[in-house]
Amino acid sequence: MSPHQSEHDRSHADPSNKPQGGESRPTEQKWLGFGLAIGSAFGLLIGLFLKNVAIGLPLGMALGLIFGTALQKSKDEQKRKDEQQSK
């Protein structure tokens, strides 16, 4: 297999590489981590603004997880639609 193949090509080349039971691979869960990272940064800023980092950081993390989950679901739905259109 060529190192220049896309992830899409690799998943179709080897059926054992596909996740079982609707599970997604860790590389497909990047939006949760992205939301958490951005939320933590904003939480620190909010905490510094409020002069209480102990409140700001958990608030930012919670908001980040909410937005990360929403982004992940929208990307998953978009991927499903693209797969259905290609069939």
Whether 66 has a pLDDT exceeding 90, the answer reads yes
Domain boundary assignment for the chain: 29-86
What's the rounded Cα separation, in Å, for the pair 5 and 25? 18
Which of the four pLDDT bands, split at 50, 70 and 90, describes residue 62? very high
Whole-prediction pTM value?
A: 0.61
User: How far from each other are the two terminal CA atoms of the chain, in whole angstroms?
Assistant: 24
Question: Could you tell me the CA-to-CA distances from 22 to 18, 51, 76 in Å, in that order?
Answer: 9, 44, 11
- The candidate with the shortest Cα–Cα distance to 72, out of 17, 8, 29, 9, is 29
Average confidence (pLDDT) over 55-80: 91
Residue 3 has which token pair? 């190192």
The one-letter code for the residue type at 62 is A
pLDDT, tens only, 8-59:
555 555 545 555 555 556 666 788 888 999 999 999 999 999 999 999 999 9
User: Which two three-digit tokens encode residue 17?
Assistant: 């590489």
